[in-house]
Amino acid sequence: MEEICKNWSTWLKKTRFSYMSEEQKNQTLNWLISVRDIVILTAEIQKGYKVADFGCGSGLLGFGILEKFKDSVELIFSDKFSDCLDECKKILESSNTPHNARFLQSDVADIKLESNYLDRALTRSVLVHVKDKLPAFKELQRVLKPGGQYCAFEPIISENTRYYELLTPDNISDYEDFKHAEMEFMSNPDDPLVNFNAESLDKDLYEAGFADVLVSVNPVVSKYVVSKDAVETWFSAPPAPDQKTMKQRFLDYFDEQKVDNFIKEVVLALSDKEVQVSARTAIIKAKK
Ligand SMILES: C[S@@+](CC[C@H](N)C(=O)[O-])C[C@H]1O[C@@H](n2cnc3c(N)ncnc32)[C@H](O)[C@@H]1O
């Protein structure tokens, strides 16, 4: 897995789809487009605005804005990592769209922009990779003009269906051990992926100085049949380039033989079966 996940742009292009069938991949791409459109609609962008896509990755939000507003907005593609900005530069160069876009390499918790500059600051699935959300919110608030807005989409991974909820002690030896390990690492306060929920986002946004904060949570339930390959990849594909895989997380608790046996039993229990999983996502809108 390492060679297909050396940086964020590879993760965005390959790793995140690695356990999906072609059909699931297409469904996910369509879902991403709908998320993009919701964030852009929520932002109520107008001509002449200065807008930034922070943690732009391969530019999901930025290119959505460009498609709709062309050169009538000043658009900043910003990311902490240069490989993502290089990817966006390539896409922009190959499109013939007139634009007023630029690139900014910046950590969202230390934005290289003057204060009171932007009309809109946008993120999609970025906070979920930032351990301390409050300093990032303070920076987003700082770079917005008074009256400017921050709009975002974030998955609330801490509330997703857990593996142990798909399994039973009948088909998994040491079920209780693995359940407790998963419960513990899925609520680790130092893990950016799971150390927040809608309430903590709301609290941090107010503490950062935002007003009229709206964090609206949507539950999504999906049912699908999982293949053997897909179940195996759940354990080997990292949720981000710098994050441990599920297998590595379990290895923090048990020896390799025990973890491999668990994975084998999960594969046996779930392969070619229909699973129902629920996830919660948040749309955020906050005004300076
Ligand atoms: C899951 S990707 C989302 C990319 C893009 N926003 C999208 O919707 O497809 C997370 C992005 O956040 C960026 N990122 C991670 N930590 C960051 C930080 N501290 N500051 C800015 N960007 C960051 C990564 O480089 C990556 O591009």
Instruction: Name which of 229, 244, 6 is nearest 14 in CA terms.
Output: 6
Task: State the Cα–Cα distance between residues 149 and 128, nearest whole angstrom.
Answer: 20
Question: CB–CB of 70/99 below 8 Å?
Answer: yes
Question: CB–CB of 74/50 below 8 Å?
Answer: yes
Banded model confidence at residue 4, pLDDT cuts 50, 70, 90:
very low
Banded model confidence at residue 174, pLDDT cuts 50, 70, 90:
very high
Q: Find the helix packing angle between 256-270 and 228-236, rounded to 10°.
A: 150
Closest residue by Cα to atom 1, ligand 1, is 125
Pocket residue to mutate for ligand 1, from 5, 6, 7, 8, most atoms within 8 A of Cβ:
8
- Is residue 245 pLDDT above 90, yes or no? yes
Is the pLDDT higher at 217 or at 29?
217
Quote the pLDDT of residue 238: 85
At which residue do the structure tokens 């879902």 appear?
31
Task: State the Cα–Cα distance between residues 195 and 70, nearest whole angstrom.
Answer: 37
Quote the pLDDT of residue 266: 95
Distances from the Cα of 2 to the Cαs of 5, 87, 268, in angstroms?
Answer: 5, 20, 25
Torsion angle of C-alpha atoms 260, 270, 22, 31, degrees rounded to 10: -110
Tens-digit pLDDT profile for residues 191-236: 999 999 999 999 999 999 999 999 999 988 988 888 888 888 889 8
Quote the pLDDT of residue 13: 67
Banded model confidence at residue 2, pLDDT cuts 50, 70, 90:
very low
pTM: 0.92
Tens-digit pLDDT profile for residues 138-172: 999 999 999 999 999 999 999 999 999 999 999 89
Q: Evaluate: CB of 60 within 6 angstroms of ligand 1.
A: yes
Quote the pLDDT of residue 177: 97
Task: State the Cα–Cα distance between residues 132 and 221, nearest whole angstrom.
Answer: 28
Quote the pLDDT of residue 220: 86
Question: CB–CB of 188/227 below 8 Å?
Answer: no
Banded model confidence at residue 17, pLDDT cuts 50, 70, 90:
low
Closest residue by Cα to atom 9, ligand 1, is 60
Average pLDDT on 83-108 reads 93
Sorted by where each starts, the structural domains of the chain and their CATH numbers stand as 3-156+196-222+276-287 (3.40.50.150), 161-186+227-272 (no CATH)
Pocket residue to mutate for ligand 1, from 129, 139, 284, most atoms within 8 A of Cβ:
129
Sign of CA dihedral 41, 124, 116, 146: positive
Question: CB–CB of 69/47 below 8 Å?
Answer: yes
Quote the pLDDT of residue 6: 57
Quote the pLDDT of residue 19: 67
Q: Ligand 1 centre from 55 Cα, in Å? A: 3
Banded model confidence at residue 25, pLDDT cuts 50, 70, 90:
confident
Average pLDDT on 243-258 reads 95
Quote the pLDDT of residue 15: 63
Quote the pLDDT of residue 28: 77
Is the pLDDT higher at 7 or at 169?
169
Angle formed at CA 236 by CA 80 and CA 36, multiple of 5 degrees: 45
- Is residue 89 pLDDT above 60, yes or no? yes
Q: Evaluate: CB of 126 within 6 angstroms of ligand 1.
A: yes
- Say which residues have a Cβ less than 8 Å from residue 20's Cβ, sequence separation at least 6: 28, 230
- Is residue 1 pLDDT above 50, yes or no? no
Quote the pLDDT of residue 281: 93
Strands (E), the chain: 50-54, 74-79, 101-105, 118-124, 144-155, 211-226, 273-287
State which amino acid sits at residue 257. Q
